Amino acid sequence: MVLLALPLALGACDANGPETAAAPPAGSPTPAPKHITVVAPELTDCGTWTVAQGEQLESAAADCLVEAVERRERARLIVTAFSVEGAPVLNSYLVHADGRVTVTIDSSGDPAGAEGLVWQNCGGPVRVIGPLPIFAECSTPRPL
């Protein structure tokens, strides 16, 4: 099975594994999809996107993530893409200040998907081809 996109369960990651990021304070406005805003001090929200099969991630979202990695600025991006079978896969990307990116993939909604919920650290140059970012190097995915 080929997964086109998996959303990340927004989380920071250290040597011990992912941590859940704090939710915005109650009463905070929720950014609209396809809108890039700062959602926490020094954390840029590159948006929450759904990309249909055969489509590309919006250039604003792709540019936001690539620039955050290059500048080593904290940012997040969430992309729902679809497996070959049409099941949604949630991919979350959390850029850390050191340029490392924690990627969380949730394929639990895909009956043909074997991995479920996993995370990995990625780094190096990043490009966005099709619905998802592609990194120069990533650790082996670990169950969450």
How far is it, in rounded angstroms, from Cα 92 to Cα 110? Answer: 16
Q: What is the pTM of this model?
A: 0.72
**Which of 111, 110, 123, 44 has its CA nearest to residue 78?**
44
Instruction: Give pLDDT, residue 113.
Output: 72
Q: For the CA atoms of 23, 24, 26, 30, what is the dihedral angle to 10 degrees? A: -110
Instruction: Give pLDDT, residue 115.
Output: 75
Helix, strand, or coil (residue 95): strand
Helix, strand, or coil (residue 140): coil
CA 27 to chain centre: 25
Q: Which residues of 97-129 are buried (b: 16+ CB within 10 A; e: fewer)?
A: eebbbbbbbbbebbeebebebbbbbbbeebebe
Report which of residues 41 and 38 the model is more confident about: 41
How far is it, in rounded angstroms, from Cα 77 to Cα 67? Answer: 12
Report which of residues 67 and 111 the model is more confident about: 67
Confidence grade of residue 40 (pLDDT, cut at 50, 70, 90): low
Instruction: Give pLDDT, residue 1.
Output: 36
For the chain, counts of helices (H) and of strands (E): 1, 10
Instruction: Give pLDDT, residue 13.
Output: 39
Residues 3-20 have a mean pLDDT of: 38
Instruction: Give pLDDT, residue 41.
Output: 66
Say if CB 133 and CB 65 are below 8 A apart. yes
What's the pLDDT tens digit per position in 69-125?
999 999 999 999 998 889 999 999 999 999 999 999 999 988 887 678 999 999 988
What's the pLDDT tens digit per position in 23-39?
444 443 434 444 445 45
User: Is it the case that residue 67 has pLDDT exceeding 90?
Assistant: yes
